[in-house]
Amino acid sequence: MNQNCCKKGLTGEVKRLAIASLLSLVIGLNAGHNSTAAIVRLSPNIQPVQVKSNFNLPACRTEAKPYWVNNITNFTALDSTEKIFTFVEQMPVFPGGEVAQGKFIKMNLRYPVEAMKAGVTGLVVAQFVVNKKGKIHDITIVKSVSPELNGEVIRIIRLMPDFEPALQSGKPVSFRYTLPVRFSLSSSDLSDVPLDTLKSRIFSQAENPPQFPGGESALQDFMRKKLSYPKEAKRSKIEGLVVVQFLVDTNGKLFYPKVTKSVNPVLDAEAMRLVKSLPPFTPARQNNQPVVFRYTLPVRFDR
């Protein structure tokens, strides 16, 4: 075989992998009492995308740098007979591409409360297989920080929709994907979080749970009026139950919303938008004292 020809053929692959290795995602959440801002940076050649929403979230910063490797061993696929590639002509693609992936992570990733209270930071590296149908299997933590941070990375991966599969010689193949996620905090990140929220026990049951203004019927009326079934989901006949959890602090303010049961990124985003529009609740009470409460809100989408 002509060695020069070989070198020429590999040059394009090397350049492509070099570009892939530069891919980076930085999400900065900078929240105040009235707004949340996130800047998503995906490579030196892509302009930052700024996403804004109105919700009183505590500030934190999460950095994630997706990359692909070809030297990880001891990984077991769901189908042990199926070859798993670590070097391919075309990488798996998140629906909508890299920018959409960045927005998805920004929307759904939440710094675990217990980890934030304990000041736990660090780099979690997860690994999973995107099979030839684009489905995610075999999620593994290959670099651990803490059970809380590890669990949050696994949760966000499980929420991800199917990818466009990797291609080799024009055919879909299974690919081993590595996703590092860095969690970092500074003292200023916690400046907008009430001290009692950080220090208090979080209840999931209480003598008097938190209450939407006007009660349960008013909450249902609010949801019916505010919930908008995304046209894209209707056209695709996507329906189901999205479950969102958030904290209601001792003042009734809402913090840390996250999707705990996903249906589809479009429906998940609408459920999150609805939660972010909720007014303050009457706080939960235990032994006649206000307490921090983890509230679960199911949001059903029926065509």
* pLDDT, tens digit (0-9, with 9 covering 90-100), for 88-120: 999 999 998 888 877 787 777 888 877 877 778
pLDDT for position 199:
57
Q: 214-244 as b/e, with b when 16 or more CB fall inside 10 Å? A: eeeeebeebbeeeeeebeebeeeebeeebbb
Question: Domain 194-301 falls in which CATH fold?
Answer: TolA/TonB C-terminal domain (3.30.2420)
Q: pTM higher than 0.85 for the full model? A: no
Element (H, E) at 272: helix 265-276
Q: Which pLDDT band, with edges at 50, 70 and 90, does 134 fall under?
A: very high
Domains 12-189 and 194-301 share a fold: yes
Residue 254 forms beta bridges with which residues? Answer: 248
- Please list the helix, strand and coil fractions of the chain in percent, rounded to the nearest 5, in that order: 30, 35, 40
* pLDDT, tens digit (0-9, with 9 covering 90-100), for 73-94: 333 345 567 799 988 999 999 9
Average pLDDT in the 229-250 region?
90
Question: Domain 12-189 falls in which CATH fold?
Answer: TolA/TonB C-terminal domain (3.30.2420)
Q: Which residue has the tokens 């999620």?
A: 139
Least confident piece of the model among 34-38, 130-134, 205-209, 295-299: 34-38
Domain boundaries, the chain: 12-189, 194-301
